[in-house]
Amino acid sequence: MKIDELIKTSLCAHKEMKDDFTNCAEKRWQEKDIQHRRVLYQGQSLENVVANGQATIEIDKNVKKNCQSSLLIMANTNIENISPRPTCGVTINFLEQDLSAYNRVSVWVYIDAVGYHNFYFHFTFGNNGEEVLHAPSLLPNQWNHVIWEVGRIKRDKVKKIGITPSLMGCPPEAEPLLKVYIDEVAMEQVEADYDLGWELQDRIAYCHSGFFVDAEKIAVVEKTESNHFYIFDTNHKVVYTGNPQKVATDIGNFYLLDFSKLKEIGEYYLQIDSRYTKPFVIDQNPYSSSIWKSMNFLRLLRCGEDVSGVHSACHLNCRTAHQDGRSVPNFGGWHDAGDVSQFEICTAEMAHAIIELALKVKNKDQLLYERLLEEAKVGINWLLRTRFGDGSRVLGVSYRIWRDNVLTSDNQTIICGSAENGPFENFCAAAAEALAYTLFQEEDPVFADWCLRAAKADFSYGQKGYAEGSYTKRWGPSIVAQTSGDGALAAAELYAITKEEQYLTFGVTYANDVLACQQQEYPDWDKPLRGFFYEDPAHQYILAYEHRGHEQTPVQGLVRLCEVASENPNYLKWKQGLELYREYILATSDLVAPYNLLPGHVYDLNKININHFTIVPTIGSPERALAILESQIKTGIQLAEHVYLRKFPIAVTRRGFHATLLSKVKAVSLIAQLFSDEKLKQVAINQLEWILGKNPFASSGMYGEGYNYHPLYVAFSDQMVGALPVGIRTYEDFDAPYWPTINNAVYKEIWGHTTGKFLWVLVDLIK
């Protein structure tokens, strides 16, 4: 759909954008040829079927798809005030079977429910004790064909399959009775999707959204017998002919299809051999479509209001308590992810990104400006209304279920956590609130003044707490590079508005802390690197992230100080720190050619902060988690005896790396803009291209944007156009991308944090 039509039909992203399924990977999966098939269950009997939790089961002969009858699961979704949250589902048992000859599970499911937009299921399959979870969202009152490929799952001794609809609560527009019909469970043999590694096979890797007029325009193939490739316009006229350039890299041999010389704005497609790409654009802002779709996604993530097609006003009676007995309602803002939680840090950064983008397009794109203005207020309002006025604030809310709006007197579930006072959280809020003043001072001066007062107070709380060494129980001790970076950013924003020297003084102090965390000299390594950051001035731990990424914070503080205080005596020192980080980025930017993905992090086996990794109970001890991490590190590029550079970050359980990548990219795009550095700008663009299709799977990471995008883990809603997930993950110890058809948290889980970082990078790239 053309961008003008997209904006018009969605009413500027006020009406939900719908995906027509044409370009979704699931359509391709559903159309695969089935080479062999074996039916495991046909809904014919309750023998060997076990009900779990509150489910009741029976055989039904009226609702069926392929069989003579179906298995009916019934449950009550009205679970408010029941703790722990009850479950329901079935286990279908069968004699231990060797299913190795089949690589796909197929299940037909019909959900009979009133007032629901979707349901979220858990399907478990594999050898006993080694089952893997597939978690799709299914539509009620129609047959859903659930398929997922299991080629990497041990399945030579399969004893059962588990089917569990998650009980999400009963919203006021719904009826509590849930009926789920299971018609047929089968195993199939299909041509497997490529899901692990760097190979392209017959695919063409390119940015599905398109290319900037003045930037590189390069597609990648792994093999070709042709000496030419062609670019066609929409009239199927050849407008550019090029020669494939063979390149040998550490990850394989490829051909580059470079058409950077084509600079005419328009829509095109590429041909090489008998292969064609889908259409893409060349434009001054080829990401316009993805920005508008991101705004669609954020509106659908809103909490506490009626979102047509997603949910009615939700969580209206959820509160967070202060230790002194006060409480505040915590609905509003945006749901953070598929589990409809919410986190203050993510909200603050997302709002900050939207505000920056609004300021960037002001007076250039009025429609987008107005839409960004509206969405920014959603996030800022939540930050303002969840403050207690003493530094304590709502930090995170785990909602997980729809709740009753009429409470019983004994209801114990409305208080969702306790308020806490943390310096990083207050600095994040202060920076966003200060910039909100700049955005709204003309549009809504009363609101703008509120933002500025809150920014000053929150900065003061952050400064005081940081000086005292306080931190939140939720996130642990402050990371100096991260917290000082955000402190410098907030100070710079307040100095830009007020011109009060106290803010610049604080900014200088925090910038000094940031620079003390930087590796400024070449270390004594076989392959030395410098310019990266440690967590602390003592260089005890290298700054690295496994899930939520904040690598931009030390750079962001320095950049903003350079922008607002270029006459300060410390300016050259700040600039030198940024030049060192630039050196680090450029030294590592081509290690994953031809995709040009920026590597994850530098790791020292002797400097791993295990406290900053998520360790679930199934992992066991921190020692076992550390052993898992060390094993991954050693598959990276060795720089010294104990030092490695990984292409992907390491993680115990929270794998999926768009957010860690984009936080680094924001640092890169900031420096590129400050220095007017086109080479560094291209490095930043390369990372967005990786996410939007220029990867080994030729898969766009944004649902509804580009092509071959996977269904995502949305849990509490249907698929959302514009959603970005946590991201492409890794498999076992391999330092390579893994993108299976299996849908599960966290790697395929939708995440506002990722979208915020994506928009934040675009602030620095678009004209």
pLDDT digits (tens, 9 = 90+) for 182-235: 999 999 999 999 999 999 999 999 999 999 999 999 999 999 999 999 999 999
Give the burial string for 42-58 (b: 16+ CB within 10 Å, else e).
bbeeeeebebeebbebe
Question: What pLDDT shows up at residue 618?
Answer: 79
Other CB atoms within a 10 A radius of the CB of residue 227 amount to 7
* Distance in angstroms (rounded) separating the CA atoms of residues 55 and 177: 11
Report the percent of the chain where pLDDT is more than 70.
99
Question: What pLDDT shows up at residue 55?
Answer: 93
Are 48 and 173 within one domain?
Answer: yes
* Distance in angstroms (rounded) separating the CA atoms of residues 300 and 308: 8
Average pLDDT over residues 738-742: 97
Average pLDDT over residues 647-669: 95
Residue 256 lies in a domain: yes
Are 102 and 230 within one domain?
Answer: no
Q: Quick check: 255 and 246 in contact, CB under 8 A? A: yes
Residue 624 lies in a domain: no
- Contacts of residue 46, Cβ cutoff 8 Å, sequence gap at least 6: 57, 58, 59, 71
Are 58 and 108 within one domain?
Answer: yes
Report the percent of the chain where pLDDT is more than 90.
84
Q: Is the pLDDT of residue 139 over 80?
A: yes
Question: What pLDDT shows up at residue 679?
Answer: 97
Residue 311's φ and ψ, nearest 5 degrees, are -165, 160
Residue 619 lies in a domain: no
How many residues belong to the chain?
Answer: 767
Q: Where do the DSSP E strands lie in 204-344?
A: 210-212, 218-221, 229-233, 238-242, 245-249, 252-258, 266-272, 275-276, 280-283, 319-321, 327-329, 342-343
Sign of CA dihedral 356, 360, 362, 367: negative
3-state secondary structure of 69: coil
Are 54 and 180 within one domain?
Answer: yes
pLDDT band at 95 (very low <50, low <70, confident <90, very high): confident
Q: Quick check: 712 and 747 in contact, CB under 8 A? A: no
Last residue of a domain, one of 153, 171, 189: 189
Which residues make beta-bridge pairs with 254? 247
Which residues make beta-bridge pairs with 258? 218
Residue 101 lies in a domain: yes
Radius of gyration of the chain from its Cα atoms, rounded to whole angstroms: 26
* Distance in angstroms (rounded) separating the CA atoms of residues 605 and 588: 20
- Range of lowest pLDDT (136-145, 616-625, 697-706): 616-625
Which residue segment(s) compose the domain that 233 sits in? Answer: 196-283
Concatenated DSSP letters for 174-225? S-SEEEEEEEEEEEEE-PPPP-BSS--TT--B--SSEEETTS--EEEES--S
Residue 261 lies in a domain: yes
pLDDT band at 171 (very low <50, low <70, confident <90, very high): confident
pLDDT in tens, 471-511: 998 888 899 999 999 999 999 999 999 999 999 999 999 99
The enclosing domain of 222 has a CATH number of 2.60.40.10
DSSP state of 439: H
Q: Is the pLDDT of residue 413 over 70?
A: no
Letter for the amino acid at 582? R
* Distance in angstroms (rounded) separating the CA atoms of residues 593 and 591: 6
Which residues make beta-bridge pairs with 163? 90, 123
Letter for the amino acid at 501? E
- Contacts of residue 28, Cβ cutoff 8 Å, sequence gap at least 6: 708
* Distance in angstroms (rounded) separating the CA atoms of residues 680 and 216: 12
Residue 320's φ and ψ, nearest 5 degrees, are -120, 135
Question: What pLDDT shows up at residue 524?
Answer: 95
Q: Is the pLDDT of residue 313 over 90?
A: no
Last residue of a domain, one of 230, 252, 283: 283
CA distances from 484 to 356, 533, 661, 753, 761 (A): 21, 12, 21, 21, 21
- Range of lowest pLDDT (233-237, 262-266, 337-341, 545-549): 337-341
* Distance in angstroms (rounded) separating the CA atoms of residues 345 and 316: 22
Residue 689 lies in a domain: no
Question: What pLDDT shows up at residue 403?
Answer: 73
295's enclosing H/E stretch is helix 288-300
Question: What pLDDT shows up at residue 653?
Answer: 86
The enclosing domain of 91 has a CATH number of 2.60.120.260
Are 163 and 125 within one domain?
Answer: yes
Residue 67 lies in a domain: yes
Question: What pLDDT shows up at residue 82?
Answer: 76
Question: What pLDDT shows up at residue 415?
Answer: 72
Question: What pLDDT shows up at residue 367?
Answer: 96
pLDDT band at 545 (very low <50, low <70, confident <90, very high): very high
Average pLDDT over residues 349-356: 98
Which is it for strands 36-41 and 177-189: parallel, antiparallel or unpaired?
antiparallel
Q: Is the pLDDT of residue 568 over 90?
A: yes
Question: What pLDDT shows up at residue 421?
Answer: 94
Are 244 and 160 within one domain?
Answer: no
Are 60 and 133 within one domain?
Answer: yes
Are 210 and 157 within one domain?
Answer: no
Are 164 and 183 within one domain?
Answer: yes
Are 200 and 182 within one domain?
Answer: no
* Distance in angstroms (rounded) separating the CA atoms of residues 450 and 165: 45
Does the bond joining 329 to the residue before it have cis omega, within 30 degrees of 0? no
Average pLDDT over residues 610-617: 85
Q: Is the pLDDT of residue 429 over 90?
A: yes
Concatenated DSSP letters for 457-525? HHHHHHHHHHHHT--BTTTBS--HHHHHHHHHHHHHHHHHHH--HHHHHHHHHHHHHHHHTB--S--S-
Question: What pLDDT shows up at residue 400?
Answer: 66
Concatenated DSSP letters for 542-589? B---SSS--THHHHHHHHHHHHH-TTSTTHHHHHHHHHHHHHHHHHHT
* Distance in angstroms (rounded) separating the CA atoms of residues 129 and 199: 32
Residue 471 lies in a domain: no
At which residue do the structure tokens 């609130």 appear? 433
Q: Where do the DSSP E strands lie in 345-426?
A: 396-397, 415-418
- Range of lowest pLDDT (225-239, 316-330, 532-546, 590-604): 316-330
Sign of CA dihedral 701, 706, 707, 709: positive
Are 158 and 273 within one domain?
Answer: no
At which residue do the structure tokens 């040009």 appear? 596
Are 38 and 169 within one domain?
Answer: yes
How many Cα atoms within 13 Å fall on the side-chain side of residue 389?
A: 5
The two three-digit tokens of residue 233, written as one number: 């316009």
CA 445 to mean position of chain CA atoms: 34
Task: Give the count of domains, the chain.
Answer: 2
Which is it for strands 319-321 and 415-418: parallel, antiparallel or unpaired?
parallel
CA 123 to mean position of chain CA atoms: 23
Q: What is the mean pLDDT of the chain?
A: 94
3-state secondary structure of 319: strand
Last residue of a domain, one of 162, 189, 216: 189
Q: Is the pLDDT of residue 68 over 70?
A: yes
* Distance in angstroms (rounded) separating the CA atoms of residues 371 and 14: 9
